[in-house]
């Protein structure tokens, strides 16, 4: 079962107050949409993701997704004048067997709720996250309660809403008029749709005060981890070295099974350490010939990917290179940019610095280079 995700992000969000559309407003320092995309891509079963955006929001979208580094995030599509029209545009660009349609304004989608709806599609024709109504429900007219509504059998719909792609495409083609959500479109087309238990945490940001509520929810579940990495490589005959993804001309090279990028190896170990999932040698054994001469970018990219799979965001990296030579200072900016391109972090969240060992030890004798690194990961 190939699963694609479609995020609907073309709305204006006028009930959220003045300013940017709510999907691009900051939530804990990052756009709401970025949180929403991460929540979906944290599940490895999702093979691709598209976002339907407003025609005026291309620059806002590009800025929102710039730090993300996941090949499953495909180029956006432009939505229409209604939610249904935006979904139809998005569906036309999707492929696969099953599509999960999700609101951009639901950035706190829990991993377990997402997994429940994915599992449901193994046996259901269509499904949606929902919660049973437990409060008393009243009709109100002109500011006065007029009639109690029986809440038995009432559910509050959430997203994602999941469908077989061919089914929901056909349903939208047959019923192009604006409807409340995709469950309504599916029902109009005669599809049987199954509610799956959602989560109170799966808040839809609608009003200005919802931003504060979302911030509070994120603070409650904050999981902050720190990992350390250390690596050493000796010098051997050669004409350059690789350090943190940057080629530096030198009268020797660093010796190792891969490209011996000692800085990137330390950073990779720091990320795996924060996840408590071993080290680079366990993930990429030197005894395995496929890693001989490999670019260390492969190792670091896998560590970043694994962090995302576990629901973590890497918020900061710090690497110290220990050597007498070559001089590191002239290359630090290039290293930060190279690491930013691989990890998806902004360069101002990446620190690279260098020191000597005051002529002491193997680094002081110019026999090799050591590196130590620290990685900070946050799970919300």
3-state secondary structure 275-341: CCCCCHHHHCCCCCHHHCCCCCHHHHHHHHHHHHHCCEEEEEEEEEEECCCCCCHHHHHHHHHHHHH
Burial of 18 from C-beta contacts in 10 A (0-12 / 13-18 / 19+) = exposed
What are the residues whose beta carbons fall under 8 Å from the beta carbon of 364, sequence distance 6 or more?
324, 356, 357, 358
Quick one: angle between helices 262-274 and 332-343, nearest 10?
A: 40
Residue with tokens 């009243």: 138
Q: For each of the domains in the chain, give its residue range(s) and CATH number, in order of start.
A: 3-220 (3.90.550.10), 223-379 (3.30.1330.50)
Tell me the pLDDT band of 69, cut-offs 50, 70 and 90.
confident
Q: What is the pLDDT of residues 300-322, one digit of tens each?
A: 999 999 998 888 889 999 999 99
pLDDT at 308: 87
pLDDT value at 13 more than 80 = no
pLDDT at 380: 62
Q: What is the pLDDT of residues 23-37, one digit of tens each?
A: 999 998 889 999 999
Tell me the pLDDT band of 100, cut-offs 50, 70 and 90.
very high
CA pair distance 301, 259, nearest whole angstrom = 15
Alpha-carbon distances of 210 from 19, 157, 188, rounded to whole Å: 15, 18, 32
Lowest mean pLDDT among 70-84, 98-112, 277-291, 339-353: 277-291
Q: State what percent of residues in the chain have pLDDT above 70.
A: 98
pLDDT at 14: 64
Tell me what the mean pLDDT of segment 128-141 comes to. Answer: 92
Q: How many CA atoms lie within 13 A of 106 on its CB side?
A: 25
Mean per-residue pLDDT of the chain: 91
Alpha-carbon distances of 99 from 70, 311, 323, 342, rounded to whole Å: 18, 21, 52, 28
């Amino acid at each position: 079962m190939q699963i694609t995700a479609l995020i609907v992000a073309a709305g204006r969000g006028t009930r959220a107050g003045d300013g940017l559309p709510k999907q691009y407003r900051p939530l804990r320092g990052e756009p709401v949409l970025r949180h929403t995309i991460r929540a979906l891509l944290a599940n490895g079963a999702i093979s691709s993701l598209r976002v339907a955006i407003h025609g005026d929001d291309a620059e806002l979208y590009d800025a929102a997704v710039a730090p993300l580094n996941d090949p499953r995030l495909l180029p956006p599509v432009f939505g229409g004048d209604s939610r249904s029209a935006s979904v139809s545009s998005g569906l036309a660009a999707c492929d696969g067997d099953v599509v999960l349609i999700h609101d951009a304004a639901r950035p706190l989608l829990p991993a377990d709720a997402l997994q429940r709806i994915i599992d449901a599609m193994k046996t259901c024709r269509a499904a949606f996250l929902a919660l049973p109504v437990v409060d008393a429900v009243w009709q109100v007219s002109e500011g006065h309660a007029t009639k109690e509504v029986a809440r038995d059998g009432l559910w509050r719909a959430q997203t994602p809403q999941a469908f077989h792609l061919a089914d929901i495409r056909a349903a939208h083609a047959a019923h192009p008029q604006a409807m409340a959500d995709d469950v309504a479109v599916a029902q109009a087309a005669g599809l049987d749709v199954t509610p799956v238990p959602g989560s109170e945490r799966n808040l839809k940001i609608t009003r200005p005060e919802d931003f504060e509520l979302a911030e509070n929810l994120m603070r409650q579940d904050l999981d902050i981890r720190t990992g350390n990495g250390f690596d050493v490589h000796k010098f051997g005959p050669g004409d350059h070295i690789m350090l943190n993804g940057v080629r530096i001309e030198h009268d020797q090279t660093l010796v190792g099974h891969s490209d011996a990028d000692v800085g990137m190896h330390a950073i990779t170990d720091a990320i795996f350490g924060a996840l408590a999932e071993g080290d680079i040698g366990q993930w990429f054994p030197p005894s395995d010939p496929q890693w001989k001469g490999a670019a260390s970018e492969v190792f670091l990219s896998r560590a970043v990917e694994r962090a995302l799979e576990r629901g973590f965001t890497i918020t900061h990296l710090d690497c110290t290179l220990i050597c007498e030579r070559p001089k590191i200072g002239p290359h630090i900016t290039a290293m930060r940019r190279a690491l930013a391109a691989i990890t998806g972090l902004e360069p101002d969240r990446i620190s690279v610095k260098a020191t000597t060992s005051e002529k002491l030890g193997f680094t002081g004798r110019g026999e090799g280079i050591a590196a130590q690194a620290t990685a900070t990961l946050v799970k919300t």
